[in-house]
Structure 1
């Protein structure tokens, strides 16, 4: 069918004598390109209509297939149209560029096929992790790792297929790859270490995207935003991005607070020594309050005990766990617990202790100090009496002077 069509076009170009050959070739090439544009437009709208129709069904994979193939189909139509236009031009032209038509067609076909598969993998990844489309969405980190591995396999297979189609010997390519791989391995050992570090992260899954991670060995703390094959992006709590090579995670300890089951309240509260008589009842009331608190997990360890005689206080240990693991909510619960403990202490007429010191003096030193204080008070009284007498004398003299002047 295609051969007959080509023969008919060539016969028209050679035998139609109304126009010159160049004009006839130009008209045919223009018609092929215009027809290609028309077919691509129609194909795009047909696939779009099918997408809208199949979106109403429960099957999600037909939607993914249609959406993934829409643009590659349009590119494939253009690839075919341009190829046939170039073939027609090549028959009547000696330009060297048209000799690569077959190679361009093979490369383009592999590109379109790989592009379609990659888009389909991306659509499948979006479906599997979507809580809207799936009743039980899969873990994003696992799906992302499988998706990356699948894309790598598709790209490597496509490259090997292209090399084979272009006439290169696969045995030579593989032999060169083995020798070159050794050289590349020595030159890019850090890159390979990060690659295998990323593979270990995806395999062991010490954390996933969205987890809060912290390392006691390094200054790393924040929320995981992305796990790549070379770098892991961690958003610190001051909103700065931190890019950590994956090889680092194979040599350090990583803490994942996002997977904690409870948050801990651990406080030591000091009571005055003057309130030692109320210490037992205060401890009992605090324990009862925590056992009845709706935000405290009574199934976890709960300790409220008189701990020790400290330098200036009687210390009570309060050790318990909250039900919530959210950071903000935890501090709200902790504040409520501490305020209730304060109310219990005040309710018994006791007070929370603060650092104080009592100084005890021997009896003789105390009496001597009291005698000095008494002597000082007598001296002050005498001094005040002298000053009053002098003031009276000055007032008398002043009165005499005034009376003398009046006389």
Structure 2
């Protein structure tokens, strides 16, 4: 080995040693910065726990992981740049671009985490409308992602003017190709804005075999849990073309029953009707401010019919049937207390006197 080769080897070893020292220093600096950040975070978290203001907790939680990631990834990018510069004699302009992209990604990540934290916090308050909170959360995350995507494209040198021009033509093509997807998306928006129903409500459609409790309203479809506990996945566009009934928003439930007395109890009809009406007016589970009707209604084939038309205070399905049962039992008691009875299908055979004499002679 000649002297020149020896000098070259010594220079390379010293150069490599300098590179190693730089990477080690950067790694140690990252570790120190991460420890300092964890200390600051723990101190701020302890302070925020003592305050009644919850938004500081949400902001801190949103910053925790992204900042830790930035502390490690940013120096790692610098170390990678040193490594490539030392071993490859060329310019790496994409490293500077990657740093900008990293900052944009971290910023978007923080905002999305903050939006999710705020949504979860608001959903814990049962007084707030769950559907509205979820809708606002989804729209805010969509806006953040859109702005972030545009920022990333601008960083990469993509002309937004050209992109918007292309989007006018491409949007038409995409719109035709994804017609159903877009109709479901805008159908979901209409559900959020018009609010014909929300999560947790019981809905049904007389046009389709759709009935159950709304579990989730997504951008593309709504999940409904039927009463036999099966999930029903309904595209949002369907709700633009059908009638939707929302029994959960009724103010009362109606009792509408027809009761028949025997024809021989005709003289007791008036008192029975009056007592049943009085019972309903004083019943604690009947809404006396709503329409209340008890009247003799019709001459049936084998009964004298009167009907009950009234509304309960409760709209709960189970409780409604309990109240209805109590009302019907009290109606039976009133009928029996007046010496009458409920009619059942009967036939009366009337025999004329001449026919009766003929039957006796034949016997």
- TM-score of the two chains, using structure 2 as the length reference: 0.91
Shift of 1:31: 4.3
Structure number with bigger Rg: 1
* 1:108-127 pair list within 5 angstroms: 108-127=102-121
1:91 aligns with 2:91: no
Partner of 1:6: none
Q: Distance in 2 between matches of 1:345 and 1:30?
A: 97
Partner of 2:49: 55
Partner of 1:165: 155
8 A contact 1:307–1:316 mirrored in 2? yes
Sort the Cα spacing of 1:311 and 1:50 in 2 relative to 1 into closer, same or farther, 3 A.
same
Shift of 1:247: 0.9
Partner of 2:337: 347
Q: Distance in 2 between matches of 1:365 and 1:277?
A: 31
Post-superposition CA distance 1:117-143 (Å, at most 9, x none): 0111122223334327xxxx4322222
Q: Distance in 2 between matches of 1:367 and 1:97?
A: 129
Relative contact order higher in (CA < 8 Å, ≥ 6 apart): 2
Shift of 1:354: 0.9
Partner of 1:241: 231
Q: Distance in 1 between matches of 2:212 and 2:38?
A: 45
Structure 2 residue corresponding to 1:322, chosen from 307, 312, 328: 312
Post-superposition CA distance 1:223-274 (Å, at most 9, x none): 1111111111111111111111111111111111111111111100111111
SS in 2 for 1:357: coil
Q: Distance in 1 between matches of 2:91 and 2:282?
A: 85
Q: CA RMSD of the aligned region, Å?
A: 2.3
Partner of 1:362: 352
Partner of 1:336: 326
Q: Distance in 1 between matches of 2:53 and 2:18?
A: 50
Gaps of 5+ in 2: 1-7
SS in 2 for 1:92: helix
Gaps of 5+ in 1: 1-13, 374-407
8 A contact 1:262–1:321 mirrored in 2? yes
Q: Distance in 2 between matches of 1:270 and 1:193?
A: 53
Sort the Cα spacing of 1:45 and 1:327 in 2 relative to 1 into closer, same or farther, 3 A.
farther
SS in 2 for 1:299: coil
Shift of 1:33: 3.0
Post-superposition CA distance 1:300-326 (Å, at most 9, x none): 000000011000111110010011111
* 1:270-309 pair list within 5 angstroms: 270-309=260-299
Shift of 1:349: 1.4
Q: Distance in 1 between matches of 2:46 and 2:349?
A: 89
Post-superposition CA distance 1:132-157 (Å, at most 9, x none): 7xxxx432222221221111111111
Partner of 1:69: 63
Post-superposition CA distance 1:77-134 (Å, at most 9, x none): 11212112112212212299966422322221111100100111122223334327xx
Question: What is the total number of aligned residue pairs between the two structures?
Answer: 355
Q: Distance in 1 between matches of 2:333 and 2:90?
A: 94
Q: Distance in 1 between matches of 2:206 and 2:303?
A: 34
Q: Distance in 1 between matches of 2:14 and 2:97?
A: 31
8 A contact 1:207–1:213 mirrored in 2? yes
Partner of 1:107: 101
SS in 2 for 1:352: coil
- TM-score of the two chains, using structure 1 as the length reference: 0.82
